[in-house]
Amino acid sequence: MQNKTVAFIFIIFVFFLPSISVLAGDDVYHKIIDDFMARVKKGESTEAIDFLYSGNPWISNKSDSIINLKNKFKNLTELVGQYNSHECLHEKVVAGRFAYVFYFVAYDRQPLKFIFEFYKPKNDWMIYSFAFNGELEDDIEKSALGEMFKQNTK
């Protein structure tokens, strides 16, 4: 009886543990977003951008596009007020190697859209692109209509 129990545990360990660890590793980009948003919440905009791009060896923090992004992000609170909250509205993973993640981010004056794109060329996820803007209406409408159509087809 004891041998069967040991064999059963061994089978679970050998066959299922690797698949669990693979699944856990595939959402590493969520941890990156969480850490980024924690910095945003603290008002550390420049540090948030530096952190986000620190895992991508192909992008220099000194490049003109990153400097421009940092400046726009740094001045964000002057335009829209303080950060209040965030929520993931849409996520799409393509071929297990590219993730598009769209967040609704609430500020005092208005909500913003944060778009994170991650790429996994080998084993590790890295930021591919980050953008933000105030153009949420179309996305929210598409999401609402999609939900409405799902409800009407039931």
pLDDT digits (tens, 9 = 90+) for 58-109: 887 678 888 899 999 989 989 999 999 999 999 999 999 999 999 999 999 9
| Strand ranges across the sheet with 83-94 | 83-94, 98-107, 111-119, 126-133
Please give the pLDDT value at position 142. Answer: 74
Please give the pLDDT value at position 6. Answer: 42
Report the alpha-carbon distance of residue 144 to residue 90 in Å, rounded.
Answer: 12
Report the alpha-carbon distance of residue 52 to residue 46 in Å, rounded.
Answer: 10
With CA atoms as reference, report the closest residue to 99 among 33, 47, 154, 11.
Answer: 33
Fold of 26-152: Nuclear Transport Factor 2; Chain: A, (3.10.450)
Sign of CA dihedral 33, 38, 143, 82: negative
With CA atoms as reference, report the closest residue to 49 among 30, 26, 72, 31.
Answer: 72
Please give the pLDDT value at position 149. Answer: 58
Residue 126 token pair? 């890295």
Q: pLDDT tens for residues 10-35?
A: 443 434 433 333 344 457 999 999 99
Q: Is the pLDDT of residue 143 over 60?
A: yes
Residue whose structure tokens are 């179309």: 138
Q: Residue 114: beta bridge partners? A: 103, 132
Q: Residue 91: beta bridge partners? A: 101
Task: Answer yes or no: pTM beyond 0.85.
Answer: no
